[in-house]
């Protein structure tokens, strides 16, 4: 199993001692995965790209990217979205199927989840506004948004604010440099203001907080993909491969930015469909289903605590699409 893991994920260990250490961690993780699956839960665990990391290493590397901006969230100019009167949530919503979501990306070992969540929200808002779906540049956000701290974290609200004032290039025109957060090209990245912008300054008309009630987030996701924060430093995220993740498997100390792209029901359990930024080989082809409706306080994994979305103007008029 370890040999297959090394081959699949192209692991290269510098010394035999390091390889032995990783094998022992891998073996412990496999024991935990098999013990969890034996309990026949609503979700399954398996061998992901993180199987040779201890829980502490995983939490340190992948549980540090979301840093909320309290000043921005409490600004008097902020608006809050609530479910419209009489709103009845559709039985399911799927923005991937509708064509409003780009392919799964991989943030690597950089704490840039906030930029991936924000870019995904902006891509979805462009699609809803009648613009072509285009992959946007997370690199520009982490290099240029001075309210964020690049690979050391930031917030989706910061990113929306930056893009509203400065615009944003496409992923093609400014690709991601920080797959390895310790690489020289990532460490020495510069803000390049000469890149052609796909979103122009002013194209993001506003960004709106979502009230923490379940029907508010359902109503928001029914109109477009929505940025959310969750707690993802738990072992269940490290090894998740499918099914619906229940609230007892995660906490609500928000540390990771992701994108809600829909919701539905599986085997009698309601869920939020969430796009992650750990590559398509993780989870359910890069996605995770998080239980919906069982937790009254902020939602499962804290998913309803800090949801927000941007509004993008139509490309052929001044009309704001809400």
Q: Which domains does the chain have, with CATH numbers?
A: 2-312 (3.90.70.10)
This prediction has a pTM of 0.93
The reported pLDDT for the residue numbered 76 is: 57
How far apart, in whole angstroms, are the C-alpha atoms of residue 158 and residue 68?
A: 9
Q: Is 81 helix (H, G, I), strand (E, B) or coil?
A: strand
For the chain, what percent of residues have pLDDT higher than 90? 78
Backbone angles phi, psi at 296, to 5 degrees: -90, -20
Beta strands in 14-79 (DSSP E): 43-45
CA torsion sign, 265 to 266 to 271 to 272?
Answer: negative
Q: Looking at per-residue confidence, does 282 or 59 come out higher?
A: 282
Mean pLDDT of the chain: 92
Res. 318: pLDDT tops 60 = no
* Catalytically annotated residues: 113, 256, 276
The reported pLDDT for the residue numbered 252 is: 85
Q: What is the mean pLDDT of residues 191-202?
A: 88
Q: What is the mean pLDDT of residues 296-306?
A: 89
How far apart, in whole angstroms, are the C-alpha atoms of residue 180 and residue 193?
A: 23
The reported pLDDT for the residue numbered 110 is: 94
Q: What is the mean pLDDT of residues 193-206?
A: 90
Confidence band, pLDDT 50/70/90 cuts, at residue 250 = confident
Residue reference for tokens 């509004």: 311
Res. 261: pLDDT tops 80 = yes
Backbone angles phi, psi at 256, to 5 degrees: -145, 130
Close Cβ partners of 217 (under 8 Å, ≥ 6 residues apart): 210, 226, 228, 260, 272, 299, 303, 304, 307
């Amino acid at each position: 199993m370890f040999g297959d893991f090394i081959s699949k994920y192209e692991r290269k260990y510098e010394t035999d001692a390091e390889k032995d250490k990783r094998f022992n961690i891998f073996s412990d993780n496999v024991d935990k995965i098999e013990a969890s699956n034996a309990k026949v839960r609503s979700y399954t665990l398996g061998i992901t790209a993180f199987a040779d990391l201890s829980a502490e290493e995983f939490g340190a590397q992948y549980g540090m990217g979301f840093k909320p901006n309290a000043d921005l969230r409490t600004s008097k100019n902020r608006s809050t979205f609530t479910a419209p009167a009489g709103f009845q949530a559709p039985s399911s919503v799927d923005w991937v199927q509708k064509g409003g979501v780009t392919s799964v990306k991989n943030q690597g070992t950089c704490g840039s989840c906030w930029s991936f969540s924000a870019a995904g929200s902006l891509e979805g808002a462009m699609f809803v506004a009648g613009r072509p779906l285009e992959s946007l540049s997370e690199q520009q956000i982490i290099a240029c948004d001075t309210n964020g701290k690049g690979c050391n974290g930031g917030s989706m609200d910061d990113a929306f604010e930056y893009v509203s004032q400065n615009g944003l290039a496409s992923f093609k025109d400014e690709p991601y440099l920080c797959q390895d957060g310790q690489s020289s090209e990532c460490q020495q990245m510069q803000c390049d203001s000469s890149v052609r912008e796909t979103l122009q300054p002013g194209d993001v008309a506003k960004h709106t907080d979502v009230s923490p009630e379940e029907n508010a987030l359902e109503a928001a996701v029914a109109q477009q993909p929505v940025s959310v924060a969750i707690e993802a430093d738990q072992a269940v995220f490290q090894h998740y491969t499918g099914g619906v993740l229940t609230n007892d498997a995660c906490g609500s100390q928000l540390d990771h930015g992701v994108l809600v792209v829909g919701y539905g029901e599986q085997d009698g359990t309601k869920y939020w469909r969430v796009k992650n930024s750990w590559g398509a080989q993780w989870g359910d082809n890069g996605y995770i289903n998080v239980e919906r409706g069982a937790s009254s306080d902020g939602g499962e994994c804290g998913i309803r605590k800090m949801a927000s979305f941007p509004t993008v103007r139509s490309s052929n008029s001044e009309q704001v699409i809400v």
